[in-house]
Homo-oligomer: A and B are copies of this chain.
Amino acid sequence: MAKAAVVGANGYLGGELLRLLSYHPQIELTAAVSRSQAGKTVGEVAPNTERFSDLVLEAEPDGIDVDVAFLAQGAGEAMKVVPSLLERGIRVVDLGPDYRLPDPAEYARVYGREHTDPGHLAEAAYGLPELFGDSVRRARLVANPGCYPTATLLAVAPLAQAGEIAGRVVVDAKSGTSGSGAQPTSSSHHPEAALTVTPYGTPDHRHAPEMAAALARLGGTAEVPLVFVPHLVPLVRGILCSIYASPVAGVDAGRWPSLFESRYSGSKFVRVGGVPKLPWAQGTNRCYLSVQFAGGSPVVFSAIDNLGKGGAAQAIQNANVMLGLDETSGLLHPGFGV
């Protein structure tokens, strides 16, 4: 059994990592870190998770001795501890944004703080294994993608790489409220969120530069100008992206379903089919893609669980790949019918 630590165990991504690790056959949680909950047990902060119920939360990751550390914290936290973790030979999957943008100046612009560990930016793999599996396999440090980029890139990247699309791509995303984290805010206050659809993130959502950077990493493709607008909908878990892209002249978008099927034929996690239901993705590492037509134009739907494939489950997929395990280890349990 590989040994793992979850740092930031008290947030929603941290909690989902605890849940998924509780039945992972090859990775064992041996340390959990939470500044605010230090001294409590995992059983107290995550009563749903029983296997580690007696493990005591630590305040800092200084003393952890594991094979892989999952960092599930906000911007600015990971870069404080990554250099020390790597030096101690610990592999890192960072679920926060610190290592997603390759350019430290871009990071400073988007996140409003200087990057304090620019030296490790170049070696960080972008942890979307379906697109960047080789670099994940070789990495000590993986930047786990944001939830919106995961859903968007799994649909857009194959089209962009195949040269199938021209012009701007509109990504209209609908997300549940767990994506904004465990901290109560006005926009996620139940009376404000339960009876409306709230577009946000204009004029510039932080995930837009992340998506642009990821598409640039894929290289060689024409630029893909994204118009990305996230909306909060009255769900807890789940993202549906409705993606409006125009085929280049001469291309019949009718072949996109088979293009996706061929591109993901080796994947256990990406499924191509009819219109998906978000419960199917709940708690899983699955992404459901569907191509439909409206007024003769194609629209691609991409559905994930923002805490699953868009977060904790993908982080475990990355750890599996980094550790040389089967990519699907511990990740094949199905989602819900309802």
Interface of A toward B, CB cutoff 8 Å: 12, 15-16, 18-19, 22-23, 46-51, 168, 170, 172, 174, 176-178, 182, 184-186, 188-205, 208, 225-229, 231, 233-238, 240, 242, 244, 246, 271, 273, 275-280, 283, 292-297, 299, 301, 307, 332-338
Task: Give A150 Cβ to nearest chain B Cβ, in Å.
Answer: 17
Query: Which of B177, B184, B242, B334 is close to A49, meaning CB atoms less than 8 Å apart?
Result: B334
Query: Which of B22, B225, B240, B295 is close to A225, meaning CB atoms less than 8 Å apart?
Result: B295
Query: Which of B48, B168, B189 is close to A280, meaning CB atoms less than 8 Å apart?
Result: B48
Contact between chains at A334 and B22 (CB < 8 Å):
yes
Query: Which of B15, B172, B188, B295 is close to A184, meaning CB atoms less than 8 Å apart?
Result: B188
Chain B residues whose C-beta falls within 8 Å of the C-beta of A237 in the assembled complex: 338
Contact between chains at B277 and A196 (CB < 8 Å):
yes
Contact between chains at A336 and B19 (CB < 8 Å):
yes
Report the separation of the CA atoms of residues A336 and B295 in the bound assembly, to the nearest whole angstrom: 35
Contact between chains at B335 and A227 (CB < 8 Å):
no
Contact between chains at B203 and A293 (CB < 8 Å):
yes
Known: A23-B333, A178-B191, A244-B227. A197 touches B294 (CB 8 A): no
Query: Which of B192, B197, B201 is close to A240, meaning CB atoms less than 8 Å apart?
Result: B197
Chain B residues whose C-beta falls within 8 Å of the C-beta of A271 in the assembled complex: 47
Query: Which of B192, B196, B234, B275 is close to A198, meaning CB atoms less than 8 Å apart?
Result: B275
Chain B residues whose C-beta falls within 8 Å of the C-beta of A193 in the assembled complex: 190
Contact between chains at A292 and B202 (CB < 8 Å):
yes
Contact between chains at B242 and A244 (CB < 8 Å):
no
17 CB-based A-B contacts, threshold 8 Å: A23-B332, A47-B276, A170-B172, A172-B242, A172-B244, A174-B231, A188-B190, A189-B189, A195-B236, A196-B279, A198-B277, A199-B275, A199-B292, A200-B275, A201-B294, A227-B295, A244-B244
Contact between chains at A47 and B273 (CB < 8 Å):
yes
Task: Give A161 Cβ to nearest chain B Cβ, in Å.
Answer: 21
Contact between chains at A234 and B233 (CB < 8 Å):
yes
Contact between chains at A244 and B194 (CB < 8 Å):
no
Contact between chains at A190 and B294 (CB < 8 Å):
no
Chain B residues whose C-beta falls within 8 Å of the C-beta of A168 in the assembled complex: 246, 297
Closest to A14 in B: B337
Chain B residues whose C-beta falls within 8 Å of the C-beta of A283 in the assembled complex: 283, 336
Known: A195-B235, A196-B238, A337-B19. A228 touches B294 (CB 8 A): yes
Report the separation of the CA atoms of residues A27 and B110 in the bound assembly, to the nearest whole angstrom: 51
Closest to A47 in B: B280
Report the separation of the CA atoms of residues A236 and B237 in the bound assembly, to the nearest whole angstrom: 14
Report the separation of the CA atoms of residues A336 and B336 in the bound assembly, to the nearest whole angstrom: 12
> Known contacts A170-B244, A202-B293, A231-B242; can you find 8 more A-B pairs with CB under 8 A?
A12-B337, A184-B186, A188-B189, A190-B193, A191-B338, A198-B275, A200-B275, A237-B338
